[in-house]
A and B are shown apart, each in its own frame.
Chain A
Amino acid sequence: MRTHGKALHELFRKRDIRHITHVPDAGHAELIRLASTDDAFVSTALTTEEEGIACLAGAWLGGERGALLMQSSGVGNCINMLGLTEICRFPLLMFVTMRGEWAEQNPWQRPMSRAVQPCLEAMNVIVQRADDVDELLDLSEAAIDMAYAGDHAIAILISQKLIGRKTW
C-alpha cells in the first residue's frame, strides 16, 4: 500500500513543489525524510511554523514553489503571518496532520485541533480535508493548481485516522 508520505513526495516532485518547510512531526516523518534526502528539494527545518509562511513567500518572490508541513497545533502559530499571504496574495500550500480527533489519547491536543478550521478560514485560507490517501492525492493536485495558478492559500488537513493510531 502506498503511504501518504510517498504519495506526496512523488506528487511534489512531479509538480515542482521544491521548497519543503517543516517542523518535526510524526505524521509527516516519512515525507520529511524523503524530501530531506532528495536533491530535487530544498528542505528547511523551522523552529516554529510561521517561519514557513514567510520563507515560502520569499521563495515565490524568487520564482519557486513550496509547501509547509505541520501538525494541527502549529496552525495557531501561523495566524498573524497568514496576513502576509493574504495581503500580497502569495500562493500557499499547507499540509496539516491532525491530532486531537480520532483515537486521540492526549486531551491537550484537542483545543487547537478544534480551532484549526475556523482559524484558517478566518485568515482566508481554503480548507480541505482528506480521510484516505487517494483523496489526499486528488485534493493535493487540485490545491497545487489553485495555489500556483490562482494565487490562493490552501490547507489540506490530513485526518488522524489516515495517519493511524499513535502508540503510547
Chain B
Amino acid sequence: MVIRPQIERRAAVSLLLEDRDQLLVVSGLGSPTWDVAAAGDHPRNFHLWGAMGGAAMVGLGLARARPDLPVLVITGDGEQLMGMGALATIGAAAPGNLAIVVLDNRHYGETGMQPSHTGLGTRLDEVAVASGFRWTERHADIQAMPGLRRRIHAKEGPGLAVLEIGTDEPSRIMPERDGVFLKNRFRADLQAG
C-alpha cells in the first residue's frame, strides 16, 4: 500500500485564515464548517449547516455583490460534488475575487466514511480547469499554504485548490447555528465597513 502524504485539515485552514484582513469566508456543511470555526469566530464567516451543494454559489453571489473584497469558500469534496454544475457557472461568471478550497478526504465523513467520487477518480481541480477557472492548485503538503493564502487575497481568480487531507476527524468545534444571526451579523459587519 502506498502511503500518500496528507495535509492536516485544521492546521491548513488555520494557516489560510491567518491575517485575514478583509477576507469573506463561506464554509460548506460538515467538517469544513467545524474547521473554519476552530480557526476562530469571525463576523465575516458565513457557516452553512445544510444546503449541500450550495457553498460555492453563495460564494459567487457574495463575490459579485462585493467585487472589492476577496471571497473564500472552504468546503469538502462531497459538498462540491453535489454542486459540480456550479463550477461551470462560476467559470462562466469569472469573478476575480472568488477562490474555492476543497478539503478532499475522498470520503463522506459525516455519514460514515463512504467513498466519494473524488476517491473513485474525479479530480475537482481538473473540472475547474475545464470550466474556465483562471487558476487551480492541488497540494498534499502544508508548506504550500502561505502561497495559497496570498493567491486567495490577490483576487486573480476564479481559483480552486484541492487540498489532499487525511480521513481523521478532529473534534467538532461548532459555530453559531442560528442562520438569521449569522446572516445579520455578516451583513452588519460589511455595512460598518
CB within 8 Å of B: which residues of A?
Answer: 19, 42, 44-48, 50-64, 66, 80-81, 83-84, 87-90
Contact = CB atoms under 8 A, between A and B. Distances in A.
Contacts of A83: 50-51
The residue among B24, B48, B55, B60 with the most chain A CB atoms within 10 A of its own CB is B60
B89 A84 contact: no
The residue among A53, A87, A88 with the most chain B CB atoms within 10 A of its own CB is A88
Given A45-B92, A88-B183, A81 B54 contact: yes
Contacts of A52: 57
Which size bracket describes the interface of B in this complex?
Answer: 35 or more
Given A62-B190, A63-B191, A84-B50, A56 B182 contact: no
A87 B179 contact: yes
B186 to A, nearest CB: 5
Interface of B: 24, 26, 46, 48, 50-55, 57-66, 83, 85-86, 88-89, 92-93, 179-180, 182-183, 186-187, 190-191
A60 B65 CA distance: 8
B190 A88 contact: no
Contacts of B50: 83-84, 87
Contact of A44 (B64, B85, B191): B64
Contact of B86 (A47, A60, A61, A62): A47
15 contacts: A44-B64, A46-B85, A50-B53, A51-B54, A54-B58, A55-B89, A58-B58, A58-B60, A58-B62, A61-B24, A61-B187, A63-B187, A63-B191, A81-B53, A88-B179
A83 to B, nearest CB: 6
A89 B46 CA distance: 14
Nearest to A85: B51
A55 B61 contact: yes
Given A54-B54, A88-B179, 18 more contacts: A19-B65, A44-B60, A45-B89, A48-B85, A51-B85, A54-B51, A55-B58, A55-B89, A58-B26, A58-B58, A58-B62, A62-B24, A62-B61, A62-B66, A63-B187, A80-B51, A84-B51, A88-B182
A63 B190 contact: yes
A135 B38 CA distance: 51
Contact of B89 (A47, A53, A80): A47
A62 B89 contact: no
A87 B177 CA distance: 10
Contact of B63 (A58, A81, A88, A89): A58
Given A19-B65, A51-B86, A88 B57 contact: no
A46 B61 CA distance: 12
A61 B183 CA distance: 6
